Amino acid sequence: MPAVGEAAPDFELLNQYGEPVRLSELRGRNVVLVFFPFAFSGICTGELCEIRDNLALFEDADAVVLGISVDSKFAQRAYAEKEGYAFDLLADFWPHGAVAGQYGVFDPGSGMARRGTFIIDAGGIVRYVVVNPRGQARDFAGYRAALAGLAGN
């Protein structure tokens, strides 16, 4: 798992529209990686809807939000359309959970990503990491504090 102060591992995944998204191509902007277990699940939906409803907080911090799960791009697209997400959902579908594995949040026993959040600054350095236990939603206040801290970097 990349630690605070380390370079974020680069990756490329397809978004819900089948378009490639490469982390290194987002340099110059802050990036919030939100790993979640599965599309359409209760806690995940609540967390992503909270981001959707507070997207201005991320935009004000010049932060790109990328939701990542092991679901296919087709499931991600249906999920994004149903919930009205205006940010990319990335499919870590094949090789199954490879990016979640790079970030230390893949659970091979269940085949899903754990609830991990990585906030990466414009230079590609990890500035915030939190991984929640299974079944426990992330505290949105953590996003606010971490994004506010980016202004000082």
With CA atoms as reference, report the closest residue to 2 among 128, 149, 139. 128
* Both structure tokens of 95: 């090789």
Lay out the sheet containing 30-35: strands in order across: 20-22, 12-14, 88-91, 63-69, 30-35, 115-120, 126-132
- Tell me the backbone φ, ψ of residue 87, rounded to 5 degrees: -135, 160
Listing DSSP states for 38-72 in one string gives: -TT-HHHHHHHHHHHHTHHHHHHTTEEEEEEESS-
Q: For the chain, give the longest Cα–Cα distance.
A: 39
Tell me which of 34, 44, 66, 113 is the catalytic residue: 44
With CA atoms as reference, report the closest residue to 102 among 111, 92, 110, 91. 92
Known catalytic residue: 49? Answer: no
Residues 73 and 15: their CA atoms lie apart, in Å, by 6
**Residues with catalytic function:** 44
